[in-house]
Amino acid sequence: MYFVANWKMYGNLSSLNTLNKVIKFSKSKAINKGRLIYCPPNTLISPLSKKFSNCQIAIGAQNCHENESYGPFTGFVNCKMLKNIGAQFVIVGHSENRKKGENDKLINLKIKSALKAKLKVIFCIGETLVEKRKKKTKSILSNQIKIGLKKVKNKSKIFIAYEPVWAIGTGIIPSSNDLIKTVQFIKSKFKKKFPKILYGGSVNPKNIKNLKEIDNIDGFLIGGASQNANKFIDIVKKTYS
């Protein structure tokens, strides 16, 4: 199982001290075969990569510019730059960025440039509450997958994170039935080998007991709860208990 911590726009150099216990935990048996991936803000990727140099925890960025090469794009960084400072993964298509105008075509370009830079991609998809109420979940997800992964060959480097927008940061999660059906639906979009599938949206140490029972989920994308090392460790431990 994969456990991806999305720190969003939180954290500074002193926050990295809280990860000492996560490093210790990552070397213990309690983690079983779990794989931890931390996605801090870009400002912390380099110091974090030094901190994690003696453990197996991977690092990801939270977004990237779509351009493969350098260019006059003030305030942005591309995947080559992220790779250079220690990122192995990048989150693409997060709903907080879609809300700010990122569309599926742009997300497709970002995915391609990430793969070119040899980053693995955590590709977020999900419907809004209005879309869910209008029973449009399947068509929204289909479109996001179809356009987002257009002409993307190497699906083994892609993780799809199903994150219903209405579940992010709200404390509400989908019913087990809905989640099972949606994960099955996502898998049905891929012919042979499908990408790994993560669930994200209000995962916490309480609801993980139900979430871990959902078939075909390869892991979790964890926002708010990942900013607290104890909660994050608890989520991993409870997945295996």
Q: Is 213 in the active site?
A: no
Q: Smallest gap, in angstroms, from Cβ of residue 223 to ligand PEP?
A: 2
Q: Smallest gap, in angstroms, from Cβ of residue 69 to ligand PEP?
A: 29
State yes or no: residue 203 binds ligand PEP (CB under 6 A): yes
**DSSP, res 134:** T
State yes or no: residue 224 binds ligand PEP (CB under 6 A): yes
State yes or no: residue 122 binds ligand PEP (CB under 6 A): no
Task: Convert residues 166-195 into a mask of x (bound to ligand PEP by CB under 6 A) and - (unbound).
Answer: --xx--------------------------
Q: Which residue has the tokens 């990727």?
A: 45
Q: Is 65 in the active site?
A: no
- Amino acid sitting at position 45: I
- Amino acid sitting at position 218: D
Distance CA 108, CA 165 (A): 19
Is the Cβ of residue 39 or residue 45 nearer to ligand PEP in the bound state? 39
Q: Which residue has the tokens 């431990």?
A: 237
State yes or no: residue 211 binds ligand PEP (CB under 6 A): no
State yes or no: residue 6 binds ligand PEP (CB under 6 A): yes
Q: Smallest gap, in angstroms, from Cβ of residue 127 to ligand PEP?
A: 14
State yes or no: residue 113 binds ligand PEP (CB under 6 A): no
Dihedral of CA atoms 165, 171, 174, 180 in degrees, nearest 10, equals 100
211 CB contacts (<8 Å, ≥6 apart)?
173, 179, 199, 203, 217, 220
Stretch that binds ligand PEP, among 13-21, 74-82, 99-107, 161-169 (CB under 6 A): 161-169
Is the Cβ of residue 131 or residue 163 nearer to ligand PEP in the bound state? 163
State yes or no: residue 164 binds ligand PEP (CB under 6 A): no
Q: Smallest gap, in angstroms, from Cβ of residue 5 to ligand PEP?
A: 10
Annotate 39-87 with DSSP letters as a single string: E--GGGHHHHHHHTTTS--EEEES---S-SS--S-TT---HHHHHHTT-
Task: Single out the residue of 78, 202, 219, 236 in contact with ligand PEP (rule: CB under 6 A).
Answer: 202
Distance CA 220, CA 235 (A): 10
Closest by CA position to 91, among listed 141, 137, 45, 150: 45
- Interface ranges with ligand PEP (CB under 6 A): 6, 163, 168-169, 200-203, 221-225
Active-site positions? Answer: 94, 163
